Amino acid sequence: MSNKQTKWLPIPSVAEGMGNLEQAAAILRKGGLVAIPTETVYGLAADATNPQAVTSIFEAKGRPQDNPLIVHIHDIQALSGPSREIPESALLLARHFWPGPLTMILPKADCIPSVTSAGLDTVAIRLPSHPIARALIRQAGIPLAAPSANRSGSPSPTTALHCLHDLEGRVDAIIDGGPCQVGVESTVISLVGKPRLLRPGAITAEKIRSLLPDLEIDPAVVQQPPPDAQVASPGMKYKHYAPHCPVFLVDGPVEAFPNWVNAQAAQEPGIFALCSDEDLPLLHCPALSLGPLADGKAQASHLFGVLRELDEKGAKKAYARCPRQEGIGLALYNRLIRAAAFHIIKI
Ligand code: TXA
Ligand code: MG
């Protein structure tokens, strides 16, 4: 492991952070690593066109080499840099949802080295809406490869402190831009061939279908791919987002969850409930709420912080209320079943 002096760069807003923004841009131009805020989660950024810089992202995260990275750009015109062919469907989605939490898989241009795309001839591209991320990409003058800024396998970081916890000494700088608003990673959709949803996010399948009615949902979004399967998005085959304590998803009628967990707590000391605000007064065991039951956005924004809190609080095991698989709930479900290593208890 490298032993870098990690700089802490507070950038409360683009206007207030000009000096630190230029420092971060200079580090990136020289091939360094900077953890940056985006509207979804913090990203671990490096020059997407520099193979050595990109290799150091994989090393810092402990990420498997066959898991490709997303290339971040700062405006729609820049789409023609990393991509060699832009279908009409990509322009349609870009006009509606960019800047924002949507990543599109397109044919890769030669300026993106194969280490960035993990040897694939496609590339994932995203135009984030976070003002600091966009200003930094513009200032650096290069597209930025950026996976989530966590150690591979652990919950994605939604604050600069989460990045420091996972990556201190492994990155050149961390920009503190405050907590991320969306809280789950971008929606990933492949536009090579038929449109296919590979990872659900805040830009929901329903919203994309209103523009591309033939959108398919990859089976790996909600199911465990078989061990030897060729998955469309390599990231989907890895265990993900997991705290150290085992997590189980509990699926059943809405009102049954607190009673079921209370009965379980009577037999199993040290368990935690991952629940909604409405459950809190009904539960007799330690519990962490994601937010109001009907507020999927709030729940998404708290998810990764709460998964990290389970470990901080020394939970032995967690039982999580199973989200409904619609709207942003599909993104919650997709992250939670991976955190739970696909263990679902039907009640
Ligand atoms: O919100 C986000 O997307 C965050 C922020 C930092 O932008 N980034 C992020 O990156 O979540 P990462 O590396 O944690 O997830 C990227 C996902 C992985 O599942 C990867 O396998 C998939 O996108 N992916 C990247 N390039 C791909 C490609 N060419 N084909 C299929 N899947 C791809
Ligand atoms: Mg990730």
What one-character-per-residue DSSP string does 45-106 give?
Answer: EEETT-HHHHHHHHHHHT--TTS--EEE-SSGGGGGTTBS---HHHHHHHHHH-SSSEEEEE
Asked if the domains 7-221 and 247-346 are classified in one and the same CATH topology, the answer is no
Cβ of 273 closer than 6 Å to ligand 1, yes or no, is no
Which pLDDT tens digits describe the chain residue by residue (347 residues)? Answer: 568 999 999 998 998 888 999 999 999 999 999 999 999 999 999 999 999 999 999 999 999 999 999 999 999 999 999 999 999 999 999 999 999 999 999 999 999 999 999 999 999 999 999 999 999 999 999 999 999 999 998 899 999 999 999 999 999 999 999 999 999 999 999 999 999 999 999 999 999 999 999 999 999 999 988 877 777 777 766 666 788 899 999 999 999 999 999 999 999 999 999 999 999 999 999 999 999 999 999 999 999 999 999 999 999 999 999 999 999 999 999 999 999 999 999 99
- Closest residue CA from atom 32 of ligand 1: 233
CA dist 234 and 137 (Å) reads: 26
Spacing, Cα 162 to ligand 2 middle (Å): 13
Alpha-carbon distance 186 to 201, whole Å? 5
Domain ranges of the chain: 7-221, 247-346
Q: Which amino acid is at 199?
A: R
Pocket test for ligand 1, best of 136, 233, 240 (most atoms within 8 A of CB): 233
> Residue 308, Cβ neighbours under 10 Å: how many?
22
The CATH number of the domain covering residues in 7-221: 3.90.870.10
pLDDT at residue 273, rounded to an integer = 98
Q: Is the CB of 122 under 6 A from ligand 1?
A: yes
Single pTM value for the model = 0.96
- Which two structure tokens, joined as six digits, stand for 162? 């989460």
Q: Is 40 in the pocket of ligand 1 (CB under 6 A)?
A: yes
Give strand pairing partners of 7. Answer: 173
Query: For residues 70 and 87, is the Cβ–Cβ distance under 8 A?
Result: no
Spacing, Cα 235 to ligand 2 middle (Å): 8
DSSP helix/strand/coil, 216: strand
Nearest ligand, measured from the Cα of 42: 1
Ligand 1, pocket-test mutation among 148, 159, 184, 196, most atoms within 8 A of CB: 148
Q: Are 211 and 104 in contact (CB under 8 A)?
A: no
186 touches ligand 1 (CB under 6 Å): yes
Residue 129's pLDDT is what? 98
Interval between CA 60 and ligand 2 midpoint (Å): 13
The residue to mutate among 57, 58, 70, having the most atoms of ligand 1 within 8 angstroms of its beta carbon, is 70
Q: What residue owns the CA closest to ligand 1's atom 13?
A: 147
- Token pair of 339 as six digits: 């955190």
Right CATH for 247-346 from 3.20.20.60, 1.10.40.60, 3.40.50.11030, 3.10.105.10 = 3.40.50.11030
pLDDT at residue 228 in the model: 76
**Sign of the dihedral through C-alpha 99, 103, 109, 113:** positive
pLDDT for residue 239: 62
Pocket of ligand 1 contains residue 234 by CB under 6 Å? yes
Q: What is the pLDDT of residue 2?
A: 65
* pLDDT, position 231: 75
The rounded Å distance from CA 199 to ligand 1 centre is 9
- Give me the residues near ligand 2 (ion), CB cutoff below 5 Å: 148
